[in-house]
Chain A
Amino acid sequence: MVISCEPLARLIEAFNKLPGIGPKSAQRLAYYLLHRPDEEAEVLAEAILALKEKIGLCSVCFNITDCDPCPICQDKERDHSKICVVERPSDIPPLERTGKYKGVYHVLHGAVSPTQGIGPEELKAKELLSRLQDGSVTEVILATNPNLEGETTAMYLRRMILPLGICITRLARGLPFGADLEYADDMTLAQALEGRQEF
């Protein structure tokens, strides 16, 4: 369908670039907004602009934030001697939701992926090492994803941090709640057995 109205065509094109939005969904969204009150469109436009204008990276942990340092790094109540290393900013909210962790974070912004040519230089790994130099950190928790890239990243970081004499821990791996034992793979089961606890 050819859209003769230029602003509408531009909006459809913009929506179409979003992940998971095809041409039909883009059209539906654009026509939906066309029929909504002006204020609703303004709120949406403002939110998108603010996202790009106000959000940056925390200079300490590299989490996304609208103030620098981020609220977690500024929080005096938190334990700054523990750093939990995650791959992406989106990994922090689930860890926070557990309410079990009161330390601070470090976001790597990716994982080592040799076949895609992503090495540690592309990540915030050097910044993590410089954070550990002053001796105030006693534990580094490697919370990279339990897949091949995440494992490679964790093993590489372990190799780099080990000479500093800091305690390095890795998130436990095992069976997720609600899983089926018969579908578990060898590696998960082996690690679940190794990490078993007295009940």
Chain B
Amino acid sequence: MGTPRSYQTQAIIIKQTRLGEADKILTIYTPEFGKLKAVAKGTCRPRSKFGGNVEPLTHSLMMLARGRNLDIVTQSQTIDGFLTLKSDLWRMACGFYLLELVDSFTVESSENPPLFDLLLDTLHRLCRADSSEIVLRYFELHFLHYLGYRPQLHQCVICDSPFQPVVNFFSSSQGGILCPHCSEKEPESRPLSVDALKILRLWQDCDYATTKRVRVKAELSSQLKHVVQGYIKYLLQREIKSVAWLEQLKGS
């Protein structure tokens, strides 16, 4: 028996690009097939049956037909349009950042169901009144874990020695923490206070409910953001473009 000609899947729409006069190529993230690209025909027409059902930052139930090159979206029904998120400039910017991370780090047709769940849960969390900084850091650390880039935060990456309660260092190229002695070999590593390391470990090891109960001071939060985003930038070998927008909104 051959593969069925059409299939149904949940999807979070990551990106849209125009195709010809009225069609769009959607980049979607699905639990069963990972990232996929599919054509949504006639989306740009006002009377399109898709309309807002295929806008980025939407969780939809989709029916797709297998195509020669790209699959074709035949039906799409919104499960959650994340309206609270879309009506706030800052939360929407956070949403754009999540989508860009997922799009940049994943390859097509490589399924990763926990990653889908993490993205979906994070979008729901952004809709609630939780601190968006903690939501983003929690997402980043767990996202890296599901992709196989989990940073080592429990012993020195080079000499394996357990950490002393002193200022240690984070090395993006080594993928984790270095003790003060080993950090001398890695001039690019960033100093990390005892508190900062404890918070990073908590975010990495605990569930979200525990994580959000711990209040983090603004200064510490900013230090941790630079460490985690520096690591992401190192892995990707380029900037995440939406970070500039987040910074701009924070500054204005």
Contacts and interface: CB of A to CB of B under 8 A. Distances in A.
B68 interface: no
A114 B241 contact: yes
A115 B242 CA distance: 5
A83 interface: no
Interface residues of B, number: 35
A150 B246 CA distance: 17
Contact of B89 (A115, A155, A188): A155
Interface string A11-54: 00000000010000000000000000000000000000000000
B248 A186 contact: no
Interface string B13-56: 00100001100000000000000000000000011011111011
A147 interface: yes
Contact of A185 (B46, B78, B97, B99): B78
Interface in B50-93: 50-53, 55-58, 78, 80-81, 83, 86, 88-89, 92-93
B252 interface: yes
Contact of A188 (B15, B52, B245, B252): B52
Given A115-B241, A119-B248, A185-B78, A151 B52 contact: no
B244 A119 contact: yes
Nearest to A20: B20
B12 to A, nearest CB: 13
Interface string A162-199: 00000000000000101110011111101000000000
A180 B83 CA distance: 21
A152 interface: yes
A59 B85 CA distance: 37
B51 A114 contact: no
Given A159-B89, A187-B52, A119 B245 contact: yes
A99 interface: no
A117 interface: yes
Contact of A159 (B53, B58, B100, B252): B252
Given A176-B46, A185-B51, A114 B81 contact: no
A130 interface: no
Contacts of A184: 51-52
A187 B86 CA distance: 9
A4 interface: no
B143 interface: no
A148 to B, nearest CB: 5
B94 to A, nearest CB: 10
Contacts of A179: 46-47, 51
A197 B229 CA distance: 48
A82 B65 CA distance: 48
A112 interface: yes
A9 B103 CA distance: 40
A116 interface: yes
Given A152-B93, A185-B78, A112 B245 contact: yes
B138 interface: no
Contact of A116 (B51, B58, B81, B241): B241
Interface of A: 20, 112, 114-117, 119-120, 147-148, 151-152, 155-156, 159, 176, 178-180, 183-188, 190
Interface of B: 15, 20-21, 46-47, 49-53, 55-58, 78, 80-81, 83, 86, 88-89, 92-93, 96-97, 99-100, 103, 241-242, 244-246, 248, 252
Given A148-B86, A152-B93, 4 more contacts: A115-B242, A151-B92, A186-B81, A187-B83
20 contacts: A20-B21, A114-B96, A114-B97, A115-B103, A116-B241, A117-B241, A147-B55, A148-B57, A148-B86, A152-B89, A152-B92, A155-B88, A159-B252, A176-B46, A179-B47, A183-B53, A185-B52, A185-B81, A187-B86, A190-B83
